[in-house]
């Protein structure tokens, strides 16, 4: 009986569940008082900073050392600002600016905001080297395609965030940048050799470990050079032999969302969780899609069953629980930065400064002029985003431009709506006025390129604003690359268009 209770306690320690609602449900409160060590917040749990602070205070009333995790990368992947849009650009924009002091300061600023809400574990930054421009899930979440650049900005982000007393998390180990498949839906395959991995994908993780990153998040992908049999999240060769032994990481290894199809499809949520702990993971992140108490219980029980049946050594589970408890202790006692955010010229936020500095403008016509001479018509082409990005998070140029140039009108089209007749309607709406076309990863979406080419054939004077990866800069009389699609990136582009920069 005592061993069974101890195994349940250990298993509860390594499960980080999500939940529904803007306040903790009874089952979360009860489980925290009984030994649950942490939870994960999603945008469904968030309304305002003060509400999140109240939520986390309620969690700490049950467990003063509770870990409260969140996926707040800034930019495209935001939970705190999902409803209004991020006031900070994402990592790719920071990589374009390539000012490590700015990256560190922005991460510290984010850390202050997280700490004020009671969040003490942030699943960021992405340490992935985005070496495949067609990557459907990383892209703007990466600092770039150069491993040296990604390494120095990964270290700077970690330094800034953890200075605020919030644990950082380098992800997605051993690197999700050289993939063309989204692991939310299936298993990506990384075909790089072991030598290539060490020269490219692993370098930012080495930098993160050297900087003292508290956690590393696994990737649900197959790395043929390391372990062709199982995804990295479940692989002892990847998590123990490589991350623990070769790279010397002593912090907490956290899985990416365990219900993602790449691992839960073949093994089930509970089975994948037990395999992950056996392979070397210390904490199971769950709740993005399955946020009920029964799922958390099923995962806990699957881990306990694996110990009882001899598939998971009890000492491995105990080691995982110890590491999670040590992280919780650090997070509860870590010193918080007391200094206020540095003042900036004109009282401009650090996020807006970074977004402005990330803009790149190409004038392709001698007659091209900025600012715009009149309120324009804006066409925004909206692709379907991956599951890491909230589909309703505001983005674009039309809304902020309308505030600067009243009379601006906007048409937004998705893949199904961007027909030839729809583009003709946009051209008609833009008669005798400037035309701005806003795209997002146009190089990855043929339908965007088709619509854009249709538009430009009739209006060679149109301005093109690319808010994704800038695959091409030879489109439009003026091409503006924002290197990000967060709200603040749209604001920076609107300022240029309106002459308010």
**What positions carry a catalytic annotation?**
184, 256
What is the three-state SS of 373-402?
Answer: CCCCEEEEECCCCCCCCCCCCCCCCHHHHH
Tokens of 213: 């990153």
For residue 432, which phi and psi values (nearest 5 degrees)?
60, 25
Question: Residue 499: phi, psi to the nearest 5?
Answer: 80, 20
What whole-number distance in Å separates Cα of residue 119 and Cα of residue 318?
A: 25
Contact assessment for residue 39 and residue 31, using Cβ atoms and an 8 Å cutoff: no
Q: How far is CA 108 from the centre of its chain?
A: 17
Query: How large is the greatest C-alpha to C-alpha distance in the chain, in angstroms?
Result: 82
| DSSP, res 283 | B
Taking the C-alpha atoms of residue 19 and residue 297, their distance in angstroms, rounded to an integer, is 13
Q: How far apart are CA 471 and CA 293, in angstroms?
A: 44
Strands 478-481 and 360-363: antiparallel
For 6, 280, 287, 469, the CA distances from 37, given in Å and listed in that order, are: 14, 19, 15, 39
Q: Residue 104 CA to chain centroid, in angstroms?
A: 17
3-class DSSP state for residue 339? coil
Q: Which two tokens stand for residue 271?
A: 């089975």
CA 261 to chain centre: 18
- Show the beta-strand stretches assigned E in 10-158: 15-16, 38-41, 67-70, 121-122
- Cα angle for residues 154, 159, 162 (degrees, 5° grid): 115
For residue 463, what are its two tokens? 């301005």
């Amino acid at each position: 009986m005592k061993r069974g209770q101890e195994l349940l306690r250990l298993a509860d320690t390594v499960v980080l569940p999500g939940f529904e609602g803007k306040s903790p449900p009874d089952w979360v409160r009860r489980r925290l008082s009984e030994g649950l060590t942490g939870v994960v917040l999603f945008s469904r749990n968030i309304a305002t900073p003060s509400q999140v602070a109240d939520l986390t205070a309620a969690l700490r009333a049950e467990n003063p050392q509770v870990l409260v995790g969140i996926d707040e990368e800034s930019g495209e992947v935001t939970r705190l600002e999902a409803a209004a849009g991020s006031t900070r650009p994402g990592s790719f924009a920071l990589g374009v600016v390539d000012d490590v002091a700015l990256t560190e300061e922005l991460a510290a600023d984010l850390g202050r905001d997280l700490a004020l809400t009671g969040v003490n574990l942030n699943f960021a930054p992405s340490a992935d080297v985005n070496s495949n421009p067609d990557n459907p899930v990383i892209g703007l979440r990466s600092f770039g395609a150069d491993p040296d650049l990604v390494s120095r900005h990964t270290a700077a982000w970690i330094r800034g965030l953890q200075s605020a007393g919030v644990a950082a998390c380098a992800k997605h180990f051993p690197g999700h940048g050289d993939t063309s498949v989204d692991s939310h839906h299936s298993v990506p395959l990384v075909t790089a050799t072991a030598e290539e991995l060490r020269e490219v994908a692993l370098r930012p993780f080495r930098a993160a470990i050297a900087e003292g990153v508290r956690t590393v998040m696994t990737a649900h992908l197959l790395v043929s050079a390391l372990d062709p049999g199982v995804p990295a999240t479940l692989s002892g060769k990847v998590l123990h032999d490589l991350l623990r032994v070769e790279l010397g990481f002593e912090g907490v290894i956290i899985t990416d969302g365990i219900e993602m199809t790449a691992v839960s499809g073949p093994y089930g949520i509970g089975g994948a969780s037990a395999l992950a702990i056996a392979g070397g993971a210390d904490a199971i992140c769950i709740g993005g899609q399955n946020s009920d108490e029964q799922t958390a219980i099923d995962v806990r029980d699957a881990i306990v069953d694996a110990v009882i049946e001899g598939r998971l050594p009890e000492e491995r589970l105990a080691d995982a629980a110890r590491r999670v408890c040590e992280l919780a202790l650090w997070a509860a006692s870590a010193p918080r930065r007391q200094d206020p955010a540095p003042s900036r010229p004109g009282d401009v936020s650090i996020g807006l400064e970074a977004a402005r500095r990330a803009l790149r403008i190409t004038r392709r016509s001698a007659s091209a002029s900025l600012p715009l001479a009149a309120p324009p018509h804006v066409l925004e082409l909206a692709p379907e985003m991956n599951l890491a990005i909230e589909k309703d998070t505001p983005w674009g140029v039309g809304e902020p431009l309308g505030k600067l140039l009243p009379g601006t009108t906007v048409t937004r089209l998705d893949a199904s709506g961007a027909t030839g007749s729809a583009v003709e309607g946009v051209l008609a709406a833009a008669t005798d006025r400037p035309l701005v076309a806003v795209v997002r990863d146009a190089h990855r979406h043929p339908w965007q390129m088709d619509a854009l080419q249709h538009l430009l054939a009739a209006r060679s004077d149109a301005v093109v604003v690319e808010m994704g990866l800038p695959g091409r800069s030879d489109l439009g009389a003026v091409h503006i690359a924002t290197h990000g699609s967060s709200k603040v990136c749209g604001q920076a582009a609107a300022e240029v268009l309106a002459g308010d920069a």
